[in-house]
Amino acid sequence: MLKVDVEKRYGAKRIAAAFETAGQVTALFGPSGAGKTTIVEMIAGLVTPDRGRVTLGDRVLFDAARRIDVPAHRRRVGYVFQDARLFPHLSVARNLNYGRWMRGLKADRANENRIVEMLGIGALLGRRPAGLSGGERQRVAIGRALLSEPEILLLDEPLASLDAARKDEVLPYLDRLRTETRMPIVYVTHVEAEAQRLSAESVRIDGS
Amino acid sequence: MEWVFTPEEWQAVRLSLRIAFWATLSALLPAFAVAHVLARRRFVGKTLLDAVIHLPLVIPPVVTGYLLLLAFGRKGPIGAFLERVFGFTFAFRWTGAALAAAIMGFPFLVRAIRLSIEAVDRRYEKAAASLGASPFWVLLTVTLPLALPGLIAGMVICFAKALGEFGATITFVSNIPGETQTLSAAIYTYTQVPNGDAQALRLTAISIVIALLALIASEWLARRATERLHGR
């Protein structure tokens, strides 16, 4: 279970969130510009909050009062970025394996094949990110995050930069992600329908 | 005029290539470290560090050579230490010429690498961190490969600069045929003796050929590196 209570100020703008996840999928829902991405970055350790606390299960990831700030690479928080961010110099297969190499995990062929099959990216393995469609990139990015064996997966508006046809291409895979893995998911979106479709509980983020 | 090179001329060519090669190679790691710090860190004294690195560009090369002589000569504090402890000396050796060339090429190398590091999209570095890569591995597996085309370009400029170095080299390690007499020093020497014109011209021609080859090679390498980075 992820517990978050963080706050960050940029000049006059205040970005804050306090919530805890209960079910498998939690939606962070709010208008554009409310600071949803900043909140997710604070959970992942990519942005340092001014104040607050983040815990994942029994691990404290961040605690301003106790000066705890686990660096991003030790948090085991999978992050699927809105813009996918596949490494342009690596093939799809190497992108998928990157997290396993960096965490020194053993190769798990069965798990790998299951995830590749679930996301329908088997035909892309030898290709480079530059040759993929937006939907394909996003599916590879989900696979890459899953294969780094995180304890939770943060999906930051994975559909926002895709056109309608590409969205429909990715959505079924998100459903499979939810039903075929037990991975806890935080799903960030500004589209209420997406939030409702995927998750039972929803956290509202408002800018101030 | 004869277009056959004498052994002495070949010696100067080979020596220049060797000096430029080792100068570039030994400058590479420190230059990358400094460029990375300048590109990514903010700290007190950053402007000063930047200025000190650019000093060899703006002070007369003879001054740089003289300072090297004072520091690394047999009686200089660093030179005397190296000789006493390691039995190694830069003074009047080709290694000294390589040191002078490395210092003269250093600002060019730092500048090119710094620009290419600044051009690396940091979002990829964040992605790598979220996948479990420590800062060192982010640098090695993401920043370095993405900065590679600029790094190659910088190495070629440094190599060319090292090939052409004259003032600092001749002041620091003199002009000893076979040991410290580089292409430039040899050309200079031949222009100072009667009937040296043919030799000076031959060496001039080969300097131009080497410089052109280096430029073409760097273009080709940088294009290949870019294709590898962003290809399908």
pLDDT tens for each residue of chain B, 232 residues long: 677 888 888 999 999 999 999 999 999 999 999 999 999 999 999 999 999 999 999 999 999 999 999 999 988 999 999 988 998 889 889 999 999 999 999 999 999 999 999 999 999 999 999 999 999 999 999 999 999 988 998 999 899 989 889 999 999 999 998 899 999 999 999 999 998 899 999 999 999 999 899 889 888 888 888 887 777 6
Strands A201-204, A25-29: pairing kind: parallel
Say if A77 is an interface residue toward chain B (CB within 8 Å).
yes
> Which residue spans within A36-159 are E strands per DSSP?
51-56, 59-63, 68-69, 77-80, 152-156
For A66-125, the pLDDT digits (tens) are 999 999 999 999 999 999 999 999 999 999 999 999 999 998 899 999 999 999 999 999
Tell me the count of A-B CB pairs closer than 8 A. Answer: 74
What pTM was computed for the model?
0.86
Say what the ipTM of the complex is: 0.91
- B215-219 CB contacts, 8 Å cutoff, 24+ apart: B215/B156, B215/B160, B217/B156, B218/B152, B218/B153, B218/B155, B218/B156
Which chain B residues touch A124 with a CB distance below 8 Å?
Answer: none
Say if A88 is an interface residue toward chain B (CB within 8 Å).
yes
Q: Which residue has the tokens 């030898």?
A: A126
Say if A8 is an interface residue toward chain B (CB within 8 Å).
no
Distances (CA, A) of A35 to A4, A26, A191, A193, B220: 14, 17, 15, 20, 45
Please tell me the distance from the alpha carbon of residue A106 to that of residue A118, in angstroms, as a whole number. 21
Give the distance, in angstroms, between the CA of residue A26 and the centroid of all CA atoms in the same chain: 12
A144 vs B129, B131, B231: nearest CB: B131
Say if B119 is an interface residue toward chain A (CB within 8 Å).
no
Q: Which amino acid is at B177?
A: P
Give the contacts of B129 (CB within 8 A, at least 6 positions apart): A45, A46, A71, A72, A73, B135, B138
Is B131 in contact with A87 (Cβ distance < 8 A)? Answer: no
State the smallest CA–CA distance between residue A67 and chain B in angstroms: 20
